Amino acid sequence: MSCCRENKTAWTLQDPAIDPVLLEPTLVKYAEAPGSLITILQRAQELYGYLPVDLIAYIAHRTGIKPAKALGVVTFYTQFRISPVGKNLILLCQGTACHVNGSAAIEDAIREELQVNEGEITPDGLFTYNNVACLGCCSLSPVMMIGNETYGSLTPEKAKKILQKIVQHEKAGGATA
Amino acid sequence: MSMKVIVGKGSCGIAAGAAKISDRLAVGIENSRIDCDVSVAGCIGMCYLEPIVDVIDNKGGKKTYVRIDAKAADEILKSLLGEPNEAEKYEILDEDSKNLRSQRRIALQNCGLIDPENINEYLAAYGYKAIEKCVTSMKPRQVIEEIKTSGLSGRGGAGFPTWFKWEAARNSPGDKKYVICNADEGDPGAFMDRAVLEGDPHALIEGMLIAAYAIGADEGVVYVRAEYPLAINRLETAMAQARETGILGKGIFGSSFSFDLRIKAGAGAFVCGEETALIASLEGERGMPRIKPPFPAQKGFWQKPSNINNVETYANVPWILREGGAAFAAMGTENSKGTKVFALTGKIKKGGLVEIPMGSTIKDVIYGVGGGIREDKTFKAVQMGGPSGGCIPAELIDTMIDYKTLAATGAIMGSGGMVVMDETTCMVDMARFFLDFTCKESCGKCVHCRIGTKRMLEILEHITKGEGKEGDIELLEDLGQQVKGGSLCGLGQTAPNPVLTTIKYFRNEYEDHINHKKCTAHQCKSLLTYEIDAGKCTGCTLCSRKCPTEAISGEVKKSHEIDREKCIQCGKCAEACHFAAVLVD
């Protein structure tokens, strides 16, 4: 990241997949409105999947917030990611009810099936595996979410089968499950 | 009237497959040209029976079908067509519908009954009558007086009297005031706020309108967890409909009162349930608490007087104004009035949402509405109040649900999470689990909370790994008291509670772990030993193939053996064995 006081006019971001123009409508609407940093960051993550540090610097520049402060906000909240995520984001619930009903075994199953640790992306870029606090579907525990789909009453075998099905689907060139 | 099919589509219903069921029913109805509407409702609270479908016939009679799959949906379709069918098989059992009737529903009164995406259904259920009454015939002071009479206290955890907050915000000087709703339901194991947002969003809007009228605010914000996309969606729809109807906006019900509302999605931080942290987050900052006073009622959002309550608290307000504070206060105990919603989960047969009058006992909930423990195992403890609460042991099952009596046990009412545990739950592991949560969620401002919870967690991890030492229990107790005393906000002040209550009631389990390296609940893997019962082993070799460390040896069709030196206690052999020949102790 270059110096925060530098007044750049043209910004190029390291990740070529990130086109700052897409964020322009959000910036026009919120950049001047006080207290909108989190809203802008949420929209940016929705657009790009993650928040690379140079993008955070760009948002800071546009909103007049110091880059260090913006990064401080990003790292404070669990929703924000500073590295890219896989095509399918697995959120394994680690709420109390899920813990009591065996989420640890589901965690083992995911690690084993995908050879991935918590917070990591699989080498093929298909999955990112994250633990989350309560998804609020406690009566179906243990639960995980993949994309927008919620899977409940999991067993290790069931979890593995779900993952295998997605892999098959992806290999067949299908859209995200 | 035409027939109507209502599919329960809360997040839990959808996770159980309700969306597919409702599509199937809609397509079937469309194809067979039956005169029947397909509608949605939120969560009725009987999560263990999801997906649930209600059928209202043309005479207004209602039948409830539960645990609906594709086949059951087809049977329901046949019954709609008047063809021979087996739909009866899926009808709700008497005992389950009796369970529902035995509750007293105020905050959840419309949940699961009305279509949350249709304001007319809320209006038909006396919706917005309370705010109309307030603005047309009551002074703001009278509204606060009514809430005072009701004895309503904050349902988010602390249980602070609602009227007191409202009055403080009303009395604070200033022309601009805010009403804020804390919908950042963070306690793992609690989901009543989500149920209200998804099932009856207008009740929240009406509650906030009444609060705004009482304190003199014209703007409101709902701070919702980002993990609740459906809740945000339904609330947005409800707000748009309320605006169209003129219920949100300027000159509400022909009065001079104006109010509008917006949603702010949280970004995931448990500490934002604390008022001042929530305000910091609303202002786009890191959500870290600050010293009080000044209280939010004096200097809140953008330094203006603000009133913050949680979803369940606001959802009670319209009923109180409609039926009168005295009717609300008639329920409950001396110091806890009205009803409380509990999220019943864990090793319970009938998990879901339950709303009961204060003063019922824990036993009423677990063995009454909850139907007892799964697989009829032995009830061991119930965790109340999430990470800020504590474990109440089986011997205190007759404890009354009341702010004071619960606090006396070391647990708290909290937001109403009730996680039921049986003999297979290890209490030391539970304490470790909660500390792991609070340690991660500590914002880091106070040294005691930031480092104290970390040190406590390390000690608990050692104990569950069989590395516990003499004196660990005392050290945990000492540290726990210090963290409670040295933290600014509720997170740190209550974080040690799960540890302290489990030590208080289950000290022997801690001692077993430390002195005998035993976990009687068989949860702490490092403390388990695996052995093969030569009499049961058939020599199928499955376990030795599954063993990641090649610790199991033996010839085909002959009994196998586990090498304790090589065994890493992963439990794969016991999981794999079809003959229960792997003994775990």
Residues whose CB is less than 8 angstroms from the CB of residue B470 and which lie 6 or more positions away in sequence, other chains included: B514, B515
Place of tokens 């999947």: A49
Residue with tokens 């740190």: B492
Cross-chain Cβ contact B286/A79 below 8 Å = no
pLDDT at A64: 95
Chain B hits for A156, Cβ within 8 Å: 575
Q: How many residues does chain A have?
A: 177
Domain B427-515 = CATH 1.20.1440.230: yes
Residue B228: which of A94, A136, A156 has the nearest Cβ? A136
- Out of A35, A76, A138, whose CB is closest to B345? A138
Confidence of residue B11 (pLDDT cuts 50, 70, 90): confident
- Chain B residue with CA closest to A73: the answer is B286
Shortest CB distance from A134 goes to which of B188, B265, B281? B188
Tens-digit pLDDT profile for residues B23-65: 999 999 999 988 999 999 999 999 899 999 999 998 889 999 9
B443 near A CB under 8 A:
yes
Q: What CATH fold (topology level) applies to the domain B528-584?
A: Alpha-Beta Plaits (3.30.70)
Q: Nearest-CA residue of chain A relative to B280?
A: A35
Domains B119-329 and B528-584 share a fold: no
Q: How far is A44 from chain B (nearest CA, A)?
A: 13
Q: What is the pLDDT of residue A176?
A: 47
Residue A44: half-sphere exposure toward Cβ, Cα within 13 Å: 32
Which residue of B14, B268, B284 is in closest CB contact with A150?
B14
pLDDT tier at B273, thresholds 50, 70, 90: very high
Q: What does the pLDDT read at residue A177?
A: 41
Whole-number mean pLDDT of chain B? 95
For B466-509, the pLDDT digits (tens) are 999 999 999 999 999 999 999 999 999 999 999 999 999 999 99
* Contact status of B433 with chain A (Cβ, < 8 Å): yes
Q: What would the two tokens of residue A66 be?
A: 């110091």
Q: Does A34 contact B347 at a Cβ distance shorter than 8 Å?
A: no
Report the share of chain B in percent with pLDDT over 70.
Answer: 100
Q: What is the pLDDT of residue A136?
A: 74
Query: From 3.40.50.150, 1.10.10.10, 3.40.50.300, 1.10.10.1590, which CATH number describes the A1-82 domain?
Result: 1.10.10.1590
The three-state DSSP-derived secondary structure of B448-513 is: HHHHHHHHHHHHHHHHHCCCCCCCHHHHHHHHHHHHHHCCCCHHHHHCCHHHHHHHHHHHHHHHHH
CATH 1.10.10.1590 placement within chain A: 1-82
Predicted pLDDT of residue A10: 66
Taking only residues 9 to 38 of chain A, the set having a beta carbon closer than 8 angstroms to any beta carbon of chain B reads: 34-38
CB contact under 8 Å between B191 and A151, yes or no, is: no
Chain A residues with beta carbon closer than 8 angstroms to that of B227: 132, 134-136
Instruction: Chain A: give the shortest CA distance to residue B56, in Å.
Output: 27
**pLDDT confidence of residue B510:** 98
For helices A53-63 and A37-48, the axis angle rounded to 10 degrees is 140
Q: Which of residues 293-312 of B touch A (CB under 8 A)?
A: 302
Residues 192-221 of B with CB under 8 A from A: 194
Mutate to test the interface with A, among B12, B192, B303 (most CBs of A within 10 A): B12
Does A140 contact B16 at a Cβ distance shorter than 8 Å? yes
Element (H, E) at B437: helix B427-441
Q: Is A41 on the interface with B (CB under 8 A)?
A: yes
pLDDT in tens, B110-164: 999 999 999 999 999 999 999 999 999 999 999 999 999 999 999 988 889 999 9
CA gyration radius for chain A? 19
pLDDT digits (tens, 9 = 90+) for B77-99: 999 999 999 999 999 999 999 98
CATH architecture of B119-329: 3-Layer(aba) Sandwich (3.40)
List, for residues B515-573, the tens digit of each pLDDT value: 999 999 999 989 999 999 999 999 999 999 999 999 999 999 999 999 999 999 888 89
pLDDT for residue A8: 57
Query: In a mutagenesis test of the B interface, which of A26, A76, A92, A132 is the best target, namely the one with the most B β-carbons within 10 Å?
Result: A76
- Of A36, A99, A136, which has the smallest distance from its Cβ to B194's Cβ? A136
* Residues of chain B contacting A80 with CB distance shorter than 8 Å: 267
Mean pLDDT of B343-351: 92
Q: What is the DSSP string of B125-183?
A: TTTTHHHHHHHHH--HHHHHHHHHHHT-B-TTTT--BHHHHHHHHHHS--S--EEEEEE
Whether chain A has a CB inside 8 Å of the CB on B380: the answer is no
Arithmetic mean of pLDDT, B243-271:
96
Please say whether the beta carbons of B200 and B114 come within 8 A.
yes
Please determine, for residue B372, whether its predicted confidence score (pLDDT) is greater than 50. yes
Q: Domain residues of chain B, as ranges?
A: 3-93, 119-329, 339-422, 427-515, 528-584
Does B268 contact A at CB distance below 8 Å?
A: yes
The more confident residue out of A148 and B450 is B450
Residues of B in contact with A95 (CB under 8 A): 188-189
Contact A96 B228 (CB under 8 A): no
Q: pLDDT averaged over consecutive 10-residue blocks of chain A (177 residues)? A: 54 86 95 95 95 95 96 95 92 90 92 93 93 82 88 92 94 65
**pLDDT range class, residue B202, cuts 50, 70, 90:** very high
Q: Kindly state the average pLDDT of the residues B236-256.
A: 97
Q: What is the pLDDT of residues B563-575, one digit of tens each?
A: 999 999 888 899 8
Report d(CA B183, CA B42) in Å as an integer.
17
Say if the Cβ atoms of A139 and B12 lie within 8 Å. yes
- Portions of chain A given CATH number 3.40.30.10: 88-171
Does domain B339-422 bear CATH number 3.40.50.620?
no
Q: Which residue, A139, A153, A149, A146, is CA-closest to A105?
A: A153
| ipTM for this model | 0.89
> Does B227 sit within 8 Å of A37, measured CB to CB?
no
CA distance A33 to B294: 25
- Tell me which of B9-13, B215-219, B324-328, B399-403 is least confident: B9-13
- Distance, in Å, from the CA atom of B478 to the CA atom of B484, rounded to the nearest integer, reads 10
Which residue of B96, B191, B192 is the best one to mutate when testing the A interface, meaning the one whose CB has the most A CBs within 10 A?
A: B191
User: What is B34-45 written as a DSSP string?
Assistant: -SEEEEEE---S
Residues 504-543 of B with CB under 8 A from A: none
Q: Are B350 and B46 in contact (CB under 8 A)?
A: yes
Query: What is A88-171's CATH superfamily?
Result: Glutaredoxin (3.40.30.10)
How many contacts, defined by CB atoms under 8 Å, are there between A and B?
A: 128
Q: Which pair of tokens denotes residue A41?
A: 């960051």
Rounded to the nearest angstrom, the minimum Cα separation between B276 and chain A is: 15
CA distance B409 to chain A (A): 20
Asked if A139 and B284 come within 8 Å (Cβ–Cβ), the reply is: no
Which of A134, A148, A155 has the highest number of chain B CBs within 10 A, making it the mutation to test binding with B? A134
Fold topology of B3-93: Glutaredoxin (3.40.30)
What is the enclosing helix (H) or strand (E) of B575?
Answer: helix B572-576
Handedness of CA B229, B234, B238, B241 (dihedral sign): positive
